[in-house]
Amino acid sequence: MKCNNCILLLTFLCSFVDAKSSLICTDGFTLINNKCLKLFSTPSNHQEAEKSCSRFGATLVTVKNANDSQAISTITKSSAPLVWLGLYCFDNYPSRCLWDDGTGSAHMFSNFSNGFPLVQLGNCVYYSTRGVLAEKWLNSDCAGNRMAYICELPPTFKDNCTHNYNGFCYTISQYAKVPLKAQESCQKEGGNLVSIHSENENRYINTIAPVVDYFIGATWNFYNILKWIDGTDMQYTNIDLLNSNRVDYCTAMATKSGGAHSTGSWYSADCSITKQYICKRRAGVQCSMTSTTAIPFPEIPSNCNVGIQMAPGVINSRNLSGSVNCTYQLATLGPYKIALKFTFFDTGNDYVTIYDGPSTESPILGRYSGNMYEFTRTSSGSTMVVTFKSDGFGNQSGFNAGFSSIVY
């Protein structure tokens, strides 16, 4: 089957390379009670300790049950009297103490010493390994106090890949591709464009990815719902809320701060441009392909002359040809303005005109042709109209834009 705009879904039959497929730890961590732990004896404050763990994509140790507590005693072997936990208290209740790994509060399980949590002594929490307070949790000043700490990683399966985390291998592409081609490349390696299911996994990917932004495997469907291309559930999202312009159906991750998006956040990205990308496959398995099915990549409507569209949405000239006379009517709810962001613009002699209001009688916000770098125009009220006219459209690349609501 020949299809230029299709995702080929490959079906694999996989089996563990090692029949016993035992759990292992990477980076010199030790497997104890199904956790990978590593003790660092250099006294550090809480923030330094967190930072040190994040170099491995790890977090400070968390204690969710009695086994976890026992694991701490096992690894310290009483060599460190006190160790930091990855727990931060906002108030003097376990339910107001949150685990650093994003899994919630210490409400379900805790072992605070009598009279604790006590944030008057500090917001961070440490674990005492010996003495009368053995296995008890106490508060201390996050910045002022220094002690040993334990980093924690999830165990994984044996595999010879470079980035092996929590049962999966991750690869950072060397070359930039459009998402469709990127997905094909990932499939050739037995995986998919990466899906991300927790704060920890998101953080891990950030630590292995160098300094550019990458395509990830999330696509918006026609109804504005974000889906993972590998079919897994979207239980976790990290969309950049301050920068959430929907420009297209594809998604990229900002891996290092300094750009328009905060580190590790996801944003809507143009499906027709190329970027590097991240693939993910199961670790420790050997797969053979059993079948392929071609499914069309989400059709991207131009939304030319479709009537009023509520934010967020996209408008573009992609699916148009011949003579074109398009009006795009954009709207949002009363308390908001519309931000229209062009991610691609190359219209030759044809003009795109933006009106600040509900019709083409409204004041002109801007009139553009030719080749433009990425730009954004914002309405003064809750409506905006865009027109695009051409006598012989077909040769130019056209434009691609996304619009969303922003507060005054």
Ligand X SMILES: *[C@@H]1O[C@H](CO)[C@@H](O)[C@H](O)[C@H]1NC(C)=O
Q: Which residues bind ligand X (CB under 6 A)?
A: 17, 65-67, 69, 111, 135-136, 159-160, 299, 301, 319, 325, 327, 394-395
Rounded to a whole number of angstroms, the minimum distance from the CB of residue 285 to ligand X is 8
Rounded to a whole number of angstroms, the minimum distance from the CB of residue 68 to ligand X is 8
Peptide bond into 179 cis (omega under 30): no
Residues 6 or more apart from 135 whose CB is under 8 A from it? 69, 73, 111, 127, 128, 129
Decide whether 140 or 238 has the Cβ nearer to ligand X.
140
- Point out the residue whose Cβ comes nearest to ligand X: 69
For the chain, the distance separating the N- and C-terminal CA atoms, rounded to the nearest angstrom, is 50
Question: Would you say the C-alpha torsion 252, 255, 260, 266 has a positive or negative sign?
Answer: positive
Peptide bond into 312 cis (omega under 30): yes
Decide whether 70 or 95 has the Cβ nearer to ligand X.
70
Decide whether 187 or 265 has the Cβ nearer to ligand X.
187
Rounded to a whole number of angstroms, the minimum distance from the CB of residue 48 to ligand X is 26
Decide: residue 180, CB within 10 A, 0-12 exposed, 13-18 middle, 19+ buried: middle
Q: What is the DSSP letter of 332?
A: -
Using CA atoms, how far residue 55 sits from 60, 151, 208, in Å, is: 11, 10, 9
Q: Could you tell me whether strands 124-128 and 82-89 are parallel, antiparallel, or unpaired per DSSP bridges?
A: antiparallel
Decide whether 89 or 169 has the Cβ nearer to ligand X.
169
State residue 72 phi and psi, 5-degree precision.
-65, -45
Rounded to a whole number of angstroms, the minimum distance from the CB of residue 331 to ligand X is 17
Q: How many CB atoms are closer than 10 A to CB 407?
A: 6
Rounded to a whole number of angstroms, the minimum distance from the CB of residue 69 to ligand X is 3
List, as one string, the DSSP characters of 197-247. -SHHHHHHHHHHS-SS-EEESEEE-TTS-EEETT--------B-GGG----
Rounded Cα distance between 280 and 168, Å, is: 6
Question: Would you say the C-alpha torsion 240, 244, 248, 254 has a positive or negative sign?
Answer: negative
Q: Could you tell me whether strands 322-331 and 383-393 are parallel, antiparallel, or unpaired per DSSP bridges?
A: antiparallel
Q: Helix, strand, coil % (nearest 5) of the chain?
A: 10, 40, 45
Rounded to a whole number of angstroms, the minimum distance from the CB of residue 216 to ligand X is 22
Rounded to a whole number of angstroms, the minimum distance from the CB of residue 386 to ligand X is 12
Q: How many CB atoms are closer than 10 A to CB 46?
A: 28
